[in-house]
Amino acid sequence: MAPMIYTLYGFAIFFFIFWCGLWLLHLIAIVYGKWKLHNRDTLTPREVPYAGVSIIKPLVGVDPNLFVNLETFFTMNYPKYELLFCIENESDPAVMIVKKLLDKYPEVDSSLFIGGCEVGVNPKINNMQPGYACAKHEYILISDSGIRMKEDTLLDMMHHMRDDVALVHQLPFTCDRDGFAATFEKVFFGTVQARIYLAADLLRINCHTGMSALMRKQLLDDVGGLRAFGCYLAEDFFMAKSFTDRGWRICISSQPAWQNAGLCEVTSFQARLTRWAKLRVAMLPPTIILEPLSECMVIGMCASWAASLLFGWDSVVFYMIHILLWFLLDWILLSIVQNGALTFNKFDFVVAWMFRECSSPYLFLHALWDPTIRWRSRVFKLAWGGIAKELKSRIKY
């Protein structure tokens, strides 16, 4: 009987300490986010000339906001950059969109690459390879199709590229859009995602999503260029890892990445979250235990039981206070990341927040149940360590 009691107390102590650690992450994210994000001091004039940047834009298909999103890259306030648009299929309607912009802004150094180059299983790497091979500047910015830039976004990113930094990426966030799905996305990126990103940046932990990432090209070339990461689906994580393994730093810029996809649906976003969870599990197996425990509802139940066993506190009252405080801190963090008035009220936030917190454990279990990854018309399976194998080849016409 005694070993069982000791085991229960051991679990209770672990859960309570883990719970305290999550509150510390909350506070770190809020304080660091208030200092780091939307900091105009980062845009002080430089004495040295600005280095050139080659911006690679991999495109597949068209959504209603594609034209306006791409146009923001032609109007940036940066002295020297080139735009390299990469489209795998010549019949893709994105080709017409890009050609219209090339005609509209002939003064901007820009090129269109069609056809891709198969260097691995990663479709994004294959699509970008021709553009990367022709990039002429010392810095590479890989930017997803749904990203919207401000005039000074590239300036802000380059100001964070210090002598010891190899990669500057942006905190994922979303533009203001209407509808519950848009609110759901903004709540996710402005709370749980922002908390992880900000704490990881301060603690210098590799937590990188490559939707908008500025890198030193020479450091990529030293390990074989983009093609060296073609065997991974989470190429962004392994690019960052290759830098940190060589002693370089990665950091976030002060401006978030403004995702502005024209199509916004709850089911498609949940599929995206599930795919990310599958990648994390394959790359970092400890997330199988740690990630569910970091969720508000799960750790709240565990900590409530632990507090009842260790201190005799009322577990129901403890759980309700836990949820209320978590909710309030998430609202504060979201307001910091937004840096302005939110487009939805507190009731909308409550509904979206509860939906995210309650659905997240289910999505994670679904990711464990079905480890295959579906990416558009292709199906992949990940081995431990993140190396991908395609299970279903593309249909070629």
Residue 107 DSSP SS3: coil
Report how far apart, in Å, the C-alpha atoms of 311 and of each of 11, 93, 299, 307 are. 14, 63, 17, 5
**330 has pLDDT over 70:** yes
pLDDT in the model for residue 286: 78
Closest CA to 337 of 258, 250, 237: 258
In this prediction, residue 43 carries a pLDDT of 59
What pLDDT, on a 0 to 100 scale, did the predictor assign at position 42? Answer: 57
Does residue 152 have an active-site annotation? no
pLDDT of residue 395: 42
Q: Is the dihedral of CA 232, 233, 234, 235 positive or negative?
A: positive
**pLDDT at residue 44 in the model:** 59
- Please give the average per-residue pLDDT across 367-390, as a whole number: 78
Predicted local confidence at residue 5, as pLDDT: 79
The CA distance from 102 to 69, in Å, is 14
Question: How high is the pLDDT of residue 384?
Answer: 73
58 DSSP 8-state letter:
E
The whole-number pLDDT of residue 170 equals 96
Is residue 394's pLDDT more than 70?
A: no
**What is the distance between the alpha carbons of residues 225 and 216, in angstroms, rounded to a whole number?**
11
Q: Each residue of 119-155: pLDDT tens digit? A: 989 999 999 999 999 999 999 999 999 999 999 999 9
Q: Higher confidence at residue 70 or residue 285?
A: 70
Query: Token digits for 176?
Result: 């203001």
Strand ranges (E), the chain: 53-59, 81-87, 110-114, 139-143, 147-148, 165-169, 172-174, 212-216, 249-252, 257-259, 373-375, 378-382, 388-392
Q: Which of 144, 156, 201, 236 is catalytic?
A: 236
Residue range 33-64, pLDDT digits in tens? 999 999 876 555 555 678 999 999 999 999 99
Among the listed residues 146, 177, 182, 184, the one whose alpha carbon sits nearest the alpha carbon of residue 360 = 184
Domains of the chain: 2-33+275-390 (no CATH), 37-170+211-264 (3.90.550.10)
- CA distances 170 to 41, 178, 259, Å, are 17, 23, 11
E strands, 132-247, in order = 139-143, 147-148, 165-169, 172-174, 212-216
- pLDDT for the residue numbered 45: 54
Question: Hey, is 30 helix, strand or coil?
Answer: helix
pLDDT tens profile 233-247: 889 999 999 999 999
Which distant-in-sequence residues (6+ apart) come within 8 Å of 357 by Cβ? 295, 296, 297
pLDDT at residue 324 above 90? yes
Percent of the chain scored above 90 by pLDDT?
Answer: 71
pLDDT tens per residue across span 244-274: 999 999 999 999 999 998 888 999 999 889 8
